[in-house]
């Protein structure tokens, strides 16, 4: 399986900077995860470049979430290598890092957006504290600056700054998801993992959130790995796409090519099911 990127990234989706185009941010080789006799994912290889959005698509049970959790060091793979290019240019095997080094990456260079925002927020503290807490984890201590930065990020994700002292319990599902995004982005990460970020939201709320995500990805030059069963989400946000079935990648390439001209019967079935809705 080739790890070289295909050309033709849509700049509206946040194309990778030319200077980094030949240097993957994340590279995965032969990754497998087994649960006893059950396959989570098998022999997956991929690469993600700076500023690129990779969608991992498939139906429930296809292995996409298992793969995402292995990439994000939330699950330990059975075999394979996951390498990450650090800010100093060195390439490190993520599973040879200490737990402290992994936690530091998750607080600084990475973000993880859960499908259910409750899993990614502290529900018993204010919206501002949810954002400021992540800054404090990287050493920020000045209260006025923390509050000012929290207000700025709330407004950036379309939450009124006047809600800074409200608990997330008082927020709608869409507002909670936007707050979770602000919490993840406030430290300036380079790579974001997203697990069905629009799942469970009303259609109109989904559309608003997708517009926001697309703009943030483009503005910040983020690399994103997003898991979704919704091919419309993949088309709107991603440059490249991998389709999984039974824990294996069965098709990959530019998102528009896969959705407009799917080659594998399973992918054709997924695309046709969306068209018939």
Average pLDDT of the chain?
90
Overall fold of domain 11-109+190-275? Rossmann fold (3.40.50)
pLDDT higher than 70, residue 8:
no
Tokens of 83: 């390498």
Under the banding of pLDDT at 50, 70 and 90, the label for residue 21 is low
Residue 220's pLDDT is 94
Rounded CA-CA distance 231/209 in Å is 16
This prediction's pTM = 0.89
Using H for helix, E for strand and C for coil, what is the string for 60-120? CCCCHHHHHHHHCCCCCCCEEEEEEECCCCCEEEHHHCCHHHHHHHHHCCEEEECCCHHHH
* pLDDT tens-digit map of 102-129: 998 998 899 999 999 999 999 999 999 9
Tokens of 204: 């109109």
CB 179 within 8 A of CB 120: no
pLDDT higher than 80, residue 69:
yes
The β-bridge partners of 41 are 33
Residue 139's pLDDT is 78
Whose tokens are 């379309």? That residue is 158
Domain ranges of the chain: 11-109+190-275, 121-188
* pLDDT tens-digit map of 211-251: 999 999 999 999 999 999 999 999 999 999 999 999 999 99
Ordered strands of the 26-35 beta sheet: 38-48, 26-35, 79-85, 91-93
pLDDT higher than 60, residue 23:
yes
Q: How far is CA 215 from CA 18, 32, 186, 210, in A?
A: 20, 33, 15, 9
């Amino acid at each position: 399986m080739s790890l070289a990127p295909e050309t033709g990234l849509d700049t509206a989706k946040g194309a990778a900077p030319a200077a980094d185009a030949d240097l993957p941010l994340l590279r995965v080789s032969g990754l497998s995860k087994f649960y006893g006799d059950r396959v989570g994912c098998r022999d997956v290889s991929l690469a993600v470049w700076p500023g690129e959005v990779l969608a991992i698509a498939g139906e429930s049970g296809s292995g996409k979430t298992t793969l995402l959790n292995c990439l994000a060091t939330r699950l330990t793979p059975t075999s394979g290598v996951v390498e990450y290019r650090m800010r100093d240019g060195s390439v490190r095997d993520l599973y040879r890092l200490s737990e402290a080094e992994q936690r530091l990456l998750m607080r600084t260079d990475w973000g993880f957006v859960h499908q259910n925002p409750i899993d990614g927020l502290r529900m018993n503290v204010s919206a501002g504290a949810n954002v400021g807490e992540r800054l404090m984890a990287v050493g920020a201590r000045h209260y006025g600056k923390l509050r000012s930065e929290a207000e700025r990020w709330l407004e950036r994700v379309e939450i009124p700054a006047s809600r800074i002292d409200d608990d997330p319990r008082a927020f709608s599902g869409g507002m909670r998801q936007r707050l979770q995004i602000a919490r993840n982005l406030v430290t300036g990460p380079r790579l974001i993992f997203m697990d069905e970020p629009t799942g469970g939201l009303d259609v109109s709320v989904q559309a608003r959130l997708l517009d926001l995500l697309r703009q943030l990805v483009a503005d910040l030059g983020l690399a994103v790995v997003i898991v979704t069963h919704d091919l419309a989400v993949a088309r709107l946000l991603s440059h490249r796409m991998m389709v999984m079935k039974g824990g294996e990648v069965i098709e990959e390439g530019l998102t528009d090519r896969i959705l407009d001209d799917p080659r594998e019967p399973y992918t054709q079935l997924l695309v046709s099911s969306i068209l018939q809705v």
